Amino acid sequence: MRLAGKTALITGARGGIGRAIVARFLREGADVYAADLSEDGSLPGQVSEGRFIKLDVTCEADAIAAMARVGDEAGKLDILVNAAGIEIEKTIEETSLEEWNRSFAVNVTGTFLACKYALPLLRAAAKDGITSSVINFGSYDGFIADPGLAAYCATKGAVHALTRAMACDHGPEGIRVNAICPGYIDTPMMQSFLTGDGVGGDGKSVETMKQAMRDVHPMRTYGTPEDIANLVTWLASDEARYAAGQLWVLDGGLSAQVQQMKL
């Protein structure tokens, strides 16, 4: 068990990726706090593991209360995973100011608040050469753009910059800060990107769109939440003691490839 004795808090823990991380961390022996807006998150009715904490990442009081509870119960936090996120599928012309602000509130301010109030507990865990680990969620969309995701792309670029800045500030305290930048991962967020109502935006079936999505990858597949949980687990573990300040792209080679001509 690679995370035995470690305490972890995951935001967005009832989402597609969050649930896979919670399940894997429990198998690796961690004491897991699963934080989300609700017990069901983005997957109503599915089995929920880990100790639930209601945490709206945009709410400062919630962040303070969540970290106070972890402090009272565990006295330290070895691993913070900031997986809460939303995606608004619009160009900037279509995006209202409220939607723009909401995107930044969840994806960027949410990461800021959780990190800010977790820092004393992360410091308490970083002792005797053992590091603590913060894992933020960026996206390959923070490097290159999907059309029609303007605010989302901007928030993920901000998370990337925040990750590097935090790694510089808190590395000397034994706190490693990294971001994972997934490509397409099969979760409710990806389903919503493909279609909101069972039929793709241009009238094609979801399966047709999924196949087209597989085909654009050099590896000819999109990712699963478990693929992401594998990398999160390594970054959270002591094996990753030298890994800090990096943006770890996990996208089946998608962003390595120049767009191909359609003949």
Ligand X SMILES: NC(=O)c1ccc[n+]([C@@H]2O[C@H](COP(=O)([O-])OP(=O)(O)OC[C@H]3O[C@@H](n4cnc5c(N)ncnc54)[C@H](O)[C@@H]3O)[C@@H](O)[C@H]2O)c1
178 binds ligand X (CB under 6 A): no
83 binds ligand X (CB under 6 A): yes
Among 187, 232, 237, 249, binds ligand X (CB under 6 A): 187
For residue 32, the 8-state DSSP code is E
Among 7, 10, 22, 41, binds ligand X (CB under 6 A): 41
Of the pair 16, 174, the CB lying nearest ligand X is at 16
What is the distance between the alpha carbons of residues 209 and 184, in angstroms, rounded to a whole number?
12
Nearest in space to 225 (alpha carbons), one of 191, 187, 254: 187
The stretch near ligand X (CB under 6 A) out of 16-24, 122-130, 171-179, 195-203 is 16-24
42 binds ligand X (CB under 6 A): yes
What is the distance between the alpha carbons of residues 80 and 84, in angstroms, rounded to a whole number?
12
137 binds ligand X (CB under 6 A): yes
User: Is residue 8 within 8 Å of 79, Cβ to Cβ?
Assistant: yes
118 binds ligand X (CB under 6 A): no
Indicate the burial class of 202 (C-beta count within 10 angstroms; 0-12, 13-18, 19 or more): exposed
117 binds ligand X (CB under 6 A): no
Q: Mask: binding to ligand X, 194-233, rule CB under 6 A, as x and -? A: ----------------------------------------
Give the residue numbers marked as catalytic: 152
What is the distance between the alpha carbons of residues 58 and 45, in angstroms, rounded to a whole number?
25
Of the pair 55, 126, the CB lying nearest ligand X is at 55
Among 30, 53, 84, 151, binds ligand X (CB under 6 A): 84
Strands 132-137 and 247-250, bridge-based pairing: unpaired
Among 3, 9, 17, 74, binds ligand X (CB under 6 A): 17
86 binds ligand X (CB under 6 A): yes
Q: How far is the CB of 126 from ligand X (least distance, A)?
A: 25
Of the pair 211, 238, the CB lying nearest ligand X is at 211
Give the C-alpha distances (Å, rounded to integers) separating 119 from 46, 58, 169, 179. 32, 17, 11, 17
109 binds ligand X (CB under 6 A): no
- Which residue number has the CB closest to ligand X? 15
What is the token pair recorded at 216?
């654009």
The full DSSP string for 122-163 is HHHH--TTPPEEEEEE--GGGTS--TT-HHHHHHHHHHHHHH
Among 6, 10, 12, 33, binds ligand X (CB under 6 A): 12
- How many CB atoms sit inside 10 A of residue 147's CB? 8
- Binding region for ligand X (CB under 6 A): 11-12, 14-18, 36-37, 41-42, 55-58, 83-87, 106, 110, 137, 139, 182, 184-185, 187-190
